[in-house]
Amino acid sequence: MRLLLVEDDALLGDGLRVGLRQAGYAVDWAQDGLAAKLSLQTEEYDLVVLDLGLPKVTGLELLRWLRGQGKSAGILILTARDTIPDRITGLDAGADDYLIKPFDLDELIARLRALSRRNSGIVTPLLQHGAITLDPAAHQVKNGSDLVDLSAREFALLHLLLLHMGRVQTRDQLESHLYGWGEEVESNSIEVHIHHLRKKLGNSLIRTLRGIGYVIDKP
Ligand code: CA
């Protein structure tokens, strides 16, 4: 999942970036409204965490612009002010959810999980394919009743392929979902993660389309 974090507070922004990356998101961090707008024009994001009080372009202006562009990313707004008008205006302008500062990182991550579920039209929190079950909330994968030990990137990759079951994901798409700005990507990293997933889950689950990408076919 690629996520744009828009937060001008350096300390909070840095903490959120680290926490969200540990939770498996590919995080880009914009520190003002203008930088955020540029990122949104050049990258596709699944989720946007948006502080309302921003320099250059305010969060609310950005939100209205974003929805005006017809972008479907899930948007969660952050507000320091516990004022009802602020939140209502944000929700009316197209935000999907909000949190009031200060908030708990675990709560933010839980809200984001719910948001991406709603956005992809998936009702159940569990993703299943044959004997394989992925639980995004518990960050767990089981093969039958056996727990499968996956790295954060392997988990993120499997999660993405299962969310888009039956639809081919290109290598570029997978890379952009797994790595944020400034994170080093080895040229064969996706192949390596796929290789590990196959060793752990069997060869037949993920199909390679040579020169294009990968797909998990519907069972
Ligand atoms: Ca702010």
Domain boundaries, the chain: 2-119, 127-215
Q: How far apart are the CA of 8 and the centre of ligand 1, in A? A: 5
CA distance to 57, 64, 66, 133, 211, per residue, from 72 (Å): 20, 12, 9, 27, 29
Q: How far apart are the CA of 116 and the centre of ligand 1, in A? A: 24
Instruction: Report phi then psi at 73, rounded to 5.
Output: -55, 145
Q: How far apart are the CA of 36 and the centre of ligand 1, in A? A: 13
What the block records as the tokens of 165 is 């079951």
Q: How far apart are the CA of 167 and the centre of ligand 1, in A? A: 38
Is residue 29 within 8 Å of 17, Cβ to Cβ? yes
pLDDT tens, 121-162?
A: 666 678 999 999 999 878 899 999 999 999 988 999 999 999
pLDDT tens, 96-123?
A: 999 999 999 999 999 999 898 887 766 6
Q: Cα–Cα distance between 86 and 51 in angstroms, integer?
A: 12
Q: Which CATH number is 127-215's, of 1.25.40.10, 1.10.10.10, 3.40.190.10, 3.40.50.1820? A: 1.10.10.10
Q: How far apart are the CA of 178 and the centre of ligand 1, in A? A: 27
pLDDT tens, 8-60?
A: 999 999 999 999 998 889 999 999 999 999 999 999 899 999 999 999 999 99
Q: How far apart are the CA of 97 and the centre of ligand 1, in A? A: 17
pLDDT at site 82:
64
Helices 59-68 + 84-92 axis angle, to 10: 20
Residue 7, pLDDT > 80, answer yes
Pairing of strands 127-129, 97-100: unpaired
CATH number, span 2-119:
3.40.50.2300
Q: How far apart are the CA of 50 and the centre of ligand 1, in A? A: 9
Is residue 178 within 8 Å of 153, Cβ to Cβ? yes
Q: How far apart are the CA of 85 and the centre of ligand 1, in A? A: 17
Q: Which residues contact 48 (CB under 8 A, 6 or more apart)?
A: 3, 4, 6, 40, 66, 73, 74, 75, 76
pLDDT at site 183:
78
